[in-house]
Structure 1
C-alpha cells in the first residue's frame, strides 16, 4: 500500500516499502501467490482486468513520486 500511496499522494514526505508488488498483472501471471489478483478476486470482468491492473499497479505511478523511499526486498 505504501508503494501505491507515494504515487498518488503528494503530501507523503517519506516512505518504506517492503517486498512490494509493483505490477499486479505480471504478479498474477508469474507468482505462486498471484491467485488473489485474478479477475474474480478483484471483482473485474476479464475484459477489464488489464486496465484495472494497470491503474492499481504502483509501477505505473512512479513518475509522480517525490518522497524519498526505502525499498526492502529479499535477502
Structure 2
C-alpha cells in the first residue's frame, strides 16, 4: 500500500527474485495502517482510525482493480 492509499501488486520471478511487473490500483478511500493477505484476491486492511476493511481484488494481466471495499 502506497502512502497515498493506493494498493500495489508486484510479481516476482521465483528463480531469480527479479521484479517481473508492478501494478498500481485505485485509492482505497481511507488511510491504511496495516494489512494482511487472506488469499490471492482478499486483503484485510486497518485504517489509522482503527476500522477494519475487507478489500476484494480483481486482477488481470495488465491492471489492478478493486472489486469492492467493505467496512
* TM-score where L is the length of structure 1: 0.20
* TM-score where L is the length of structure 2: 0.20
**Highest relative contact order (Cα 8 Å, sep 6+), 1 or 2?**
1
